[in-house]
Structures are given as C-alpha cells and as structure tokens.
Amino acid sequence: MVNIPNKTFFNWSIGKDSAMALHRLFSDVRYDVRHLLTTVNGFHNRVSMHGVRTELLHAQIKAIGLPHTEISLPQSPTNEEYEQLMMGEVGRLKGDGFTHAAFGDIYLEDLRRYREQQLERVGLSAVFPLWGEDTRDLLSYFVESGFRAVVVCVNDAFLDKSFAGRHLDASFFSDLPAGVDPCGENGEFHTFCYAAPFFSEEIAFKMGEIVCREYDNAGEKSAFWFADLIPLG
C-alpha cells in the first residue's frame, strides 16, 4: 500500500522558528507542504507581531517558491475579528483539499491547545515539527544548517534596546540574560530569517531606525523595541 503524504499548509511568520519547522517538513515524507499563510497588519502594511515590512515577506515567499496567502488584519483587531478572518481562510484551504496545518511552536501548551481546537472546528489536524525540542539544541541546528536571522522586535520587559537589530550569532546568544529563552519562545524577541537552506537567494536589506512602541492592553502596559529593516534590490 502506497502512503500518500498529507496535503499541508504552513503558518509562515517570517522568523527563525518558522524557517526551521518548514525545513523539517520538507524532509518529512508524511507531509506535502503546498501553501504558506501569513497574517499582516493591513493598516501599517507590516507582518503581525514582528513589525517587518511586507516587502520583505514577499521577498521570502519568492525565495521559497510556494503559493502564499496574506490575511490582512485591521489596525487593532479583536480576538473575534482575528478568528473570523483566519478561520475563513483556513476553511477555504480545507475546501481545496488540505488536511493539515503546520506551526513553528516549540513548547507553549496553551497556544498549542488553542490552535488544535480551532482547527478541529473545520476538520483539520495540527502539526508541530519542533515540538518539545531543547531550544539550545535548536540554536545549534539553526547555525549549523545555514540559517541566518536578525532580531526585529524585543520585549522591553526582558531585553533592552541593544538587542534589537542584532544578528543571531554566538555573541547574541551568549549575551542573553538568565531566564530568557534562547529561542525567545516566551515572546522575549522576534526575528526575520533572511537566509535558509531552502531559500533560492538571501534576502537583502539594510538596517533602519530602532524605535520603541508602548501598548496599553486593558490597563496592562508593555513596551517593545522594533528594528526597521529596509528592503534592498
């Protein structure tokens, strides 16, 4: 009996974890990745959470060479608005024959349960290629496999401005304070992957300004440092 690989779409978030997870899937005979899905802030024309210009997302997609869908979110979407837009697109993909959705999450149990529950509503299965792995081992895998990334967002509660705009190399990881996850799995930092083994070319950019954005979520204030990357070529 011939095993037919599961038709899979990947939730591409532009960062290092997405890149490593997608790399794993490409070599896993159980899955056939045919589509990428990304949420962007339509008001600012930037990738959600990361603050990276969509032009750089498009450069990544071109380098990967897979069909891609952007879900454009309003400036400050509610959970209901986000779920409505996301599940609408997921339902369309289900109608196109997709059976699995993949993510780059590593060990956040609540987030995994949420994703699984949402997908169960439309009869899809969730895949987590990096789940449960030691994040220090993943860093070694990242560097040794030829991935390259730059830090585009840091949470000021964990890291200061000096970490924004730094490339993920040995010195960056050695400078991380105690208690900060090496992969930023608790939201300490986010990255833009500009080189990967499956990219047809490296993504060219130059460093722009580094700015601080403050947010107030129901009285809970937070601040993030964003490094603006300017596309080249």
Beta bridge partners of 36: 10, 68
| pLDDT tens across the length of the chain (233 residues) | 557 899 999 999 999 999 999 999 999 999 999 999 999 998 889 998 899 999 999 999 999 999 999 999 988 888 899 999 999 999 999 999 999 999 999 999 999 999 999 999 999 999 999 999 999 899 889 989 999 999 999 999 999 999 999 999 989 989 999 999 999 999 999 999 999 999 999 999 999 999 999 987 767 788 999 999 999 97
Residue closest to 227 by CA, chosen among 179, 186, 194, 185: 194
Summarised one tens digit per residue, pLDDT across range 170-219 is 899 899 999 999 999 999 999 999 999 999 999 999 999 999 999 877 67
Cα-based distances in Å from 154 to 81, 158, 160, 166 = 26, 8, 7, 11
Domains of the chain listed by start with CATH number:
6-127 (3.40.50.620), 135-231 (no CATH)
